Amino acid sequence: MRVPAISQRMHLVLLTAWTVLWFVVVEPNGGFSWHYLRTGGELIYQGASGDGTGGLNLYAHHPELQMGPVSFLVAGLFNPFPEHTGQFLAAALMSLLGLVIVVLAGRSAAWHFLGTGTNHQRLRQRVLIAGLAFIPMWIEVSVRFGHLDDVLALFFTALAVRSVTRGNAALTGVFLALAMDSKPTALAFVPLLLALPREKWLRAGLWMAALVAVAWLPFFVGDMNSFSAAKFAIPNHPASALRWLGVADPETPGWDRPAQFALGLLLGCLAVWRGRWAAVVLLGANARIVLDPSVYTYYTASVLLGTLLWDVIGQRRLVPWWSWLALLILYGSVFVVPDDSARGLIRLAFVAVSTAYVLLWPVRERGDRRGSGRRRPPARKDEGPAEPYAPGAVPAPGATPWAGPPAAR
């Protein structure tokens, strides 16, 4: 398939323009949930002052605030501004982080495929096409809903992926911890740690555990009623995939949240074992939407990050089909399918098919042009020379790029 050549600068210009367009369209009616972050930001900086419901007592008195402490600490930085101004500045920053995530995905892929004869011109095109699908859903979570917690969790997860491709155990653990400290649902992405070489697991795990403890333990030690936040329930929407699984409870069942985490961790570990660690984020997001009682459209942003990473790192097709399928099926169906039950079935079907595909479908492995395996033949003439995806994507002279986990080599 012949596609027009595109320069590194041009593809970033196009993605930036696409982001600005969506921001301008959505921002006037955005910030649907920003008040939660603004309130949490005020309470977490409140400390022992005020009515005593802030500081380390935050989760005990406000279980409805289901965001992590890092999200509230960042949100509080916008509180000195007038409410509308603070919301606008936060939305602008969160939109910018979406662009950074696309760049991080491209750089991660460039490093992962370094030395395999990959044509980075084609990689750049793949990132552009997948990024065009990712940005609308990113604007949904960052601007329309103003969910800083999801934004930070996904941003730190993208940084963790970048650290995995570079084989940096400490940073992988740090970024995974910051993701969970921003939003607990990021726990499903922890199997990324296992994509590191085995001898680095302990170091990464210790960094992760230490930073999670530093962020969360003070709240639970300071007020044991903070555990009540884990029991916060929301209505079981008729359009949820949970309904199709036979769960008719009017609210979140007590087993549901633990099951989401368990399923996400199980699928992620299975993906790493299968040598497909780039699917960990997609599988973790799938576990959430298939078992979550609610159907907010911003949930799809985590799925789109998963498909972005899978399309640019997990496989080498020029056209990133999964990113566009996720956008059209999960987001598009909200507008064209009126029946709640049908939308629930669509969500369930997407999770089932995409999960089966990334785990079972034959894919061309890193450095293998015929899907067979283990050796790395020289580049074909039609692929051209390998060039950096972006500045900083090529190691210093004499450095040896990490070759990936044994199962992926």
DSSP string, 101-123: HHHHHHHHHHHHTTTTT--HHHH
Q: What is the mean pLDDT of residues 185-214?
A: 97
Residue 28 maps to a domain: yes
Q: What is the mean pLDDT of residues 33-40?
A: 93
Residue 334 maps to a domain: yes
What percent of the chain lies above the pLDDT cut of 70?
Answer: 85
Residue 2 maps to a domain: no
Residue 238 maps to a domain: yes
Write out the residue range of the structural domain in which residue 321 sits. Answer: 8-222+230-366
> Is residue 7 over pLDDT 70?
no
Residue 26 maps to a domain: yes
Residue 314 CA to residue 370 CA, distance in Å, equals 15
Query: Could you report the per-residue pLDDT of 218-231, keeping only the tens digit for each?
Result: 988 877 777 777 77
Residue 351 maps to a domain: yes
Residue 103 maps to a domain: yes
> Is residue 383 over pLDDT 60?
no
Q: How confident is the model at residue 244 (pLDDT cuts 50, 70, 90)?
A: very high
Which residues have CB under 8 Å from 1's CB, separation 6+? 318, 319
Q: Are 311 and 322 in contact (CB under 8 A)?
A: yes
Q: Are 6 and 44 in contact (CB under 8 A)?
A: no
Residue 395 maps to a domain: no
- 217 backbone φψ class: left, alpha, beta (φ>0; ψ -120 to 50): alpha
Residue 72 CA to residue 276 CA, distance in Å, equals 34
Q: What is the mean pLDDT of residues 345-370?
A: 83
Instruction: Say what the pLDDT of residue 141 is.
Output: 97
Residue 108 CA to residue 145 CA, distance in Å, equals 28
Please state, in angstroms and as integers, the Cα–Cα distance from residue 66 to each residue in 60, 229, 280, 334, following that order: 11, 7, 23, 25
Q: What is the mean pLDDT of residues 281-300?
A: 96
Tell me the average pLDDT of the chain.
86
Instruction: Say what the pLDDT of residue 52 is.
Output: 66
Total number of domains constituting the chain? 1
Q: What is the mean pLDDT of residues 276-288?
A: 97
